[in-house]
Amino acid sequence: MNFSLEAVTTNLVSQIAFLVLFIMTIRSLVAYTRQDWGAFLSGLAMGICCLIVVFFGPQIEAIAKAFGGSIFQ
């Protein structure tokens, strides 16, 4: 049996970020219909951040590991 905990954590982080992205999209649409522009823009910004984490999660992790390795070596 080939079980990799690293793959599970990568998938879990992506799924949580997708769930937050979905919630922020719904909140942004509700704020847009109420014309609450401050909530709309903050929800949109948070949604874009979550979208970046969802799509570029492994690349961000690799950059963080390389950055941390260069600092602490």
pLDDT tens for 23-40 read: 888 888 899 899 989 888
Dig out the tokens for 54 from the structure.
């969802």
Domain limits at 34? 12-71
> What local confidence, expressed as pLDDT, does residue 13 receive?
73
pLDDT score for 33: 93
4 occurs within a structural domain: no
> What is the domain count for the chain?
1
Q: Name the pLDDT band for 4 (thresholds 50, 70, 90).
A: low
CA dist., res. 37 & res. 33, Å (int): 10
Residue 6 inside a domain? The answer is no
Residue 2 lies in a domain: no
Residue 47 domain-assigned?
Answer: yes
- pTM for the model stands at 0.60
Q: Are the C-beta atoms of residues 58 and 10 closer than 8 Å to each other?
A: yes
Q: Which residue has the higher pLDDT, 35 or 48?
A: 35
> In the structure, what pLDDT confidence band is assigned to residue 7 with cuts at 50, 70 and 90?
low
